Amino acid sequence: MAFSDGIRPRCLLIGNSRWHWAEQRGPSHWIYQHEAAVPEAFDQPIDLLAWAAVGPVPDHFRLQTSRRLRLAEIPLQGIPNWLGIDRALAGWGAWRASAHPVGVMVVDAGTVLSLTRISETGHFSGGLLAAGYGLQLRAMGAATAGLEAVSALVLESDKREPFPLETQAAMRCGALQSLVGLITQAQAQCPWPIWLCGGDAPQLLPLLQQKLGVEVLHAPNLVMEAMVELIS
């Protein structure tokens, strides 16, 4: 496929903490990037095929209303009008790709951890929301006098000690285990296949595999792959 003047078609999801891009490199080849919000990206010539948002939308001429993907365009059944379009895209993408004769449970480990159930017939079937890993750490640092901001990077020593002696390690392990517990309890009540995406997915994946003993499908580009498929 030829691209005029070197301009490659793109799709964009504006998230709460990051921007998520899909860039077309060939007739059926796309690459995906997840990066901090950078409005300067619009300074370069791009062909924005479609965009959606769950986070703050900058005022920029490239974000044309006619190309904004809306919740009503996601082909899931029973979507409530308050559902985030990222959850709808991820749920539809997992359901479309699933070969299981049951529903799917999508865990998007972002700023907020969202758990979204999609039934085997493609119906939205509720879910759960909780403060994400990084958000929990920031909240503990901001809301208490005795705890300071802590890096979200999980150290090897954190993995070896279930009850850390050091405060920052205890914060990291506690935040991660709270999310693992939520997902584990949800899966016990609804044993559907789990699709995991979001920025904190790599931190949660080994813990979930160890705890659940079931397959966890890590799909880091799930939302953007669904958007690309939808507009294609």
Taking the C-alpha atoms of residue 4 and residue 23, their distance in angstroms, rounded to an integer, is: 14
Q: For residue 168, what are the CA distances in angstroms to 60, 165, 177?
A: 40, 9, 14
Q: What angle do CA 232, 197, 54 make, to 5 degrees?
A: 70
In this structure, are residues 226 and 96 in contact, taking their beta carbons and an 8 Å threshold? yes
Q: Choosing from 86, 108, 158, 200, which is the catalytic residue?
A: 86
Residue 169 tokens read as 């390690």
CA dist 171 and 176 (Å) reads: 9
Residue 71 near residue 79 (C-beta atoms within 8 A): yes
Q: Any idea what the Cα angle at residue 78 is, between residues 53 and 196, rounded to 5°?
A: 55
DSSP run (H or E) holding 196:
strand 194-197
Give yes or no: 5 in active site.
no
On whether the CB atoms of residues 227 and 87 are closer than 8 A, the answer is no
Catalytic residue ranges: 86
